[in-house]
Amino acid sequence: MKIELTDQQRENQQRFQAFVEREVMPRAEVYDESGVFPDDLALAMGRAGHLGALAPVEYGGLDLDMISFGLQNEAYGRGCASARSLLTVHNMVLASVLRWGSAAQKARWLPGLAAGQSLAAFALSEPESGSDANSLQTYAVLEGDHYSLHGSKKWITFGQLAGLFLVFAKLHGKTTAFLVERGSPGLAVEAISPMGGCRAAMLAELRLDGCRVPAANLLGRPGLGWTYVANAALDNGRYSVAWGCVGLAQGCLEASLAYVNRRRQFGALLREHQLIQAMVADMVAGVEAARLLCFKAGYLQEIGDPGAILATSLAKYFGAQNAARVSGAAVQIHGANGFSRVFPVHRHWRDAKVMEIIEGSTQIQQMIIGRASAAG
Ligand SMILES: Cc1cc2nc3c(=O)[nH]c(=O)nc-3n(C[C@H](O)[C@H](O)[C@H](O)COP(=O)(O)OP(=O)(O)OC[C@H]3O[C@@H](n4cnc5c(N)ncnc54)[C@H](O)[C@@H]3O)c2cc1C
């Protein structure tokens, strides 16, 4: 077996890395501190075509293969988890419209999403419904030519900036997906003040008070919102997060390698101390293993293998925990400097913890992997 990027994939990788090193990394610390994602960065991501990664060329997208999409997420994850999370949620919605949308829905929304002219957010979680996501309380009622949505959505990444929300609500007791535009009557978007990690991910709470949604905005079929739309989107999000975790851990490893080569204690560079070498070895092994799991998931997704879903879950499960471990070791290696804002490792460490909670927490992945594996 040979694991090797194609020329096109390598070219994509270099392009994404160069963009992130130029546009994201120099200011990630500053906007993380402010908790405000720069408008011009979102625009630059759009102009570069990065928000249309999964859209076909006919809609103005990059139509990336799944490995290239993974490499894009790794490149962003290495720079900033908030920027990477914009890729994640935006693509979850874009891919949902692409997969489940009618011709009219695709024509209406895909070009703007692919160009990044409109940002998209994925609105599933609620104050009382998290891991048990299908237990949502938001509901929809058909009233003539439109639906009225009632309820609220919480922790919606980039909800503060999104022009389009993929909202899940019960219709006749069954979860159904709706495309809800910003500015819809009865929709209020409230900012959630910056969190402990992914501080610039512009989280919002949505209040749906009889929110009026045209009947034509139902995505897919009534009642299939959970089994099909939400689960496919979550699978896509997990893949994006898993690669983002590889990038985050890679960033921590690189920062740590630079640090152990300049910091001296007890008359020797840190890299010469064996306990530091042990930490570095664990970091290297973790990053390599997490990346290989992502490659496997990407390969299976690319060939349409049914095992891709479990492989993606595994990549996210291992990748998120590995990101937490590696970023923790990076802070340790940096000592007091690891808690300063001069080095990025403290931000990565806070962001890494988020990865164990979102897109199905570590425990939810354990349940998925454990059940599927035990069932054979
Ligand atoms: C930064 C951030 C961004 C987010 N962005 C979005 C977004 O864009 N869209 C969106 O819809 N949601 C978003 N979320 C919400 C996220 O999806 C939920 O936080 C997640 O699903 C977990 O739900 P919860 O926080 O309610 O925890 P709970 O479900 O209440 O779980 C609490 C704890 O119990 C564990 N647990 C739950 N059930 C079980 C079980 N059966 N067995 C063992 N342990 C269990 C969990 O793993 C967790 O450790 C975001 C959250 C964060 C922090």
Task: Provide the residue ranges of all domains of the chain, joining segments of one domain with +.
Answer: 7-118, 121-223, 226-375
Task: Pick the residue whose CA is nearest to atom 14 on ligand 1.
Answer: 155
> 125, 193, 248, 356: which to mutate for ligand 1, most atoms within 8 A of CB?
125
Residues in contact with 248: Cβ distance below 8 Å, sequence separation at least 6, in sequence order: 77, 78, 81, 323, 326, 327, 348, 351, 352, 355
CA 363 to ligand 1 centroid distance, Å: 10
The secondary element (H helix, E strand) that includes residue 188 is: strand 187-191
Residues in contact with 115: Cβ distance below 8 Å, sequence separation at least 6, in sequence order: 46, 49, 51, 52, 60
Task: Pick the residue whose CA is nearest to atom 27 on ligand 1.
Answer: 130
Q: Is the CB of 195 under 6 A from ligand 1?
A: yes
Residues in contact with 352: Cβ distance below 8 Å, sequence separation at least 6, in sequence order: 81, 197, 245, 248, 249, 320, 323, 324, 326, 327, 328
Q: Is the CB of 89 under 6 A from ligand 1?
A: yes
pLDDT of amino acid 369: 96
Task: Pick the residue whose CA is nearest to atom 25 on ligand 1.
Answer: 130
Task: Provide the annotated active-site residues.
Answer: 359
pLDDT of amino acid 375: 87
Query: Cα separation of 312 and 155, whole Å?
Result: 23
Q: In CATH, what is the architecture of 226-375? A: Up-down Bundle (1.20)
pLDDT in tens, the chain (376 residues): 778 999 999 999 999 999 999 999 999 999 999 999 999 999 999 999 999 999 999 999 999 999 999 999 999 999 999 999 999 999 999 999 999 999 999 999 999 999 999 999 999 999 999 999 999 999 999 999 999 999 999 999 999 999 999 999 999 999 999 999 999 999 999 999 999 999 999 999 999 999 999 999 999 999 999 999 999 999 999 999 999 999 999 999 999 999 999 999 999 999 999 999 999 999 999 999 999 999 999 999 999 999 999 999 999 999 999 999 999 999 999 999 999 988 999 999 999 999 999 999 999 999 999 999 998 7
Q: Is the CB of 134 under 6 A from ligand 1?
A: no
Task: Pick the residue whose CA is nearest to atom 18 on ligand 1.
Answer: 130
pLDDT of amino acid 198: 98
Q: Let me know if the fold of 7-118 is the same as that of 226-375.
A: no
> 37, 129, 131: which to mutate for ligand 1, most atoms within 8 A of CB?
131
pLDDT of amino acid 3: 84
pLDDT of amino acid 79: 98
DSSP assignments along 4-31, one per residue? ---HHHHHHHHHHHHHIIIIIGGGHHHH
> 138, 178, 354, 358: which to mutate for ligand 1, most atoms within 8 A of CB?
358
CA 372 to ligand 1 centroid distance, Å: 21
Q: Is the CB of 125 under 6 A from ligand 1?
A: yes
Query: Cα separation of 311 and 70, whole Å?
Result: 14
* Number of neighbouring beta carbons within 10 Å of residue 3: 9
CA 358 to ligand 1 centroid distance, Å: 6
* CATH of the domain spanning 7-118: 1.10.540.10
Q: Is the CB of 357 under 6 A from ligand 1?
A: yes
Which amino acid is it at 323?
A
pLDDT of amino acid 341: 85
CA 356 to ligand 1 centroid distance, Å: 9
Give CA angle at 135 (129, 140), nearest 5°.
100
Q: Reduced to 3 states, what is the DSSP secondary structure of residue 155?
A: strand
DSSP assignments along 216-252, one per residue? GGEESSTT-IIIIIIHHHHHHHHHHHHHHHHHHHHHH
Task: Pick the residue whose CA is nearest to atom 6 on ligand 1.
Answer: 156
Q: Is the CB of 354 under 6 A from ligand 1?
A: yes
pLDDT of amino acid 211: 98
* CATH of the domain spanning 121-223: 2.40.110.10
Ligand 1 atom at shortest distance from the alpha carbon of 157: 8
Q: Please state the pTM of the whole predicted model.
A: 0.98
Ligand 1 atom at shortest distance from the alpha carbon of 363: 47
> 82, 361, 369: which to mutate for ligand 1, most atoms within 8 A of CB?
361
